[in-house]
A and B are shown apart, each in its own frame.
Chain A
């Protein structure tokens, strides 16, 4: 966990240590500059939506890979991940960060293909410290929820993790995820962790844990 210097707020309250890591609250996404190659579709003017909104079953999926046999730290891994985020994505899931990169409040544009269908959307970084960062979906995204990318030490090994907590946006996407989307999505995040591990010269299996947090559609 990163230490931040507590600063007094306007009310004279001590600023929480996590204050610098959270994005500011906004009503709707506002995009001023669109990175080259990205499409500003389903982003501008959209409200953010979390795992409590949406339609489908709520799934928590946790992908992990241990960087065994090398000496590195969670901080270094996450630093590299933030800088090289788009490079670790597979060809069918392109991310376009803003010039400011992965930082609280920044928007990442996404051009992907799910089941052969093109998907243009984006996510906003709502939290980022030196061991993790989290993105949240806007309206129009196939899923509603969060993805957290993090690293931690486990028994002397740096473990890299992606954890998603999300549900399908609407009945059509729910059906799509059940048929093909979920498997495809798992391939994408497995690819990302394999690529990140390979960047550090590691070839270890990715472990996926799936828990259905809420089996009801809503």
Chain B
């Protein structure tokens, strides 16, 4: 058995800089191992709702192939003094269990940065999936952008 281990105790201590470095290391491992993933069928647009709140519009499919796109969007959304990230799922067309795993990873990173993760635009179907996977215990779900931004600004 071949083993490649990254011990978070040493590498994952807080700063956004170190998190980005870790992310780049994982990408480098992927490139080394020649894992050729198909094109991600997802687009993410980052915009500022206020100085402290960023919104990521998710359009398309949230699967394992969306990892780079999602983490790039998060890095872009985290610039400055952002304290809350809002994921807009109005354009979400498909999500599998790997997509849920990506959201867990994102949530852990956001928590470590002492930021908050909120969502809006989830259809009944995707709300149900958040409940099945218990993501709704940790990620605030709102009905509209206005409501989510208001909640984020109140933090």
Could you list which residues of chain A lie within 8 angstroms of chain B, going by C-beta atoms?
1, 9, 11, 13, 15-19, 21-25, 48-53, 57-58, 60, 126-127, 129, 132, 134, 136, 146, 148, 150, 154-155, 163, 165, 186, 190, 205-215
Contact = CB atoms under 8 A, between A and B. Distances in A.
B1 A208 contact: yes
B1 A154 contact: no
Contact of A18 (B3, B26, B94): B94
B101 A127 contact: no
Contacts of B7: 212, 215
A212 B6 contact: yes
B39 interface: no
Contacts of B124: 9, 11, 13
A213 B3 CA distance: 17
Contacts of A206: 1-2
Given A52-B137, A154-B35, A213-B108, 16 more contacts: A18-B95, A23-B132, A25-B131, A49-B134, A53-B134, A60-B101, A132-B98, A154-B34, A155-B36, A165-B101, A206-B1, A206-B2, A210-B4, A210-B6, A211-B26, A214-B8
Nearest to B134: A50
Nearest to A194: B1
Contacts of B144: none
A127 B95 CA distance: 10
A16 B93 contact: yes
14 contacts: A11-B124, A16-B94, A21-B96, A127-B97, A136-B132, A148-B101, A154-B34, A205-B1, A207-B4, A209-B5, A212-B6, A212-B12, A214-B8, A215-B8
B125 A209 contact: no
Given A23-B132, A165-B101, A207 B34 contact: no
B108 A214 contact: yes
Contacts of A208: 1-4
Contacts of B2: 205-208
Contact of B132 (A19, A48, A186, A214): A48
Contact of A132 (B29, B97, B125): B97
A143 B12 CA distance: 22
Contacts of B137: 52-53
B138 interface: yes
A50 to B, nearest CB: 4
B96 A18 contact: yes
B138 A52 contact: yes
B101 A146 contact: yes
A13 B123 contact: yes
A1 B4 contact: no
Contacts of A23: 132
A213 B105 contact: yes
B94 A126 contact: no
Interface string B58-79: 0001010000000000000000
Nearest to B13: A215
Contacts of B105: 60, 213
A163 B98 CA distance: 9
B16 interface: no
Interface string B78-120: 0000000000000001111110110011011000100000000
A122 to B, nearest CB: 16
A191 to B, nearest CB: 10
A19 B9 CA distance: 38
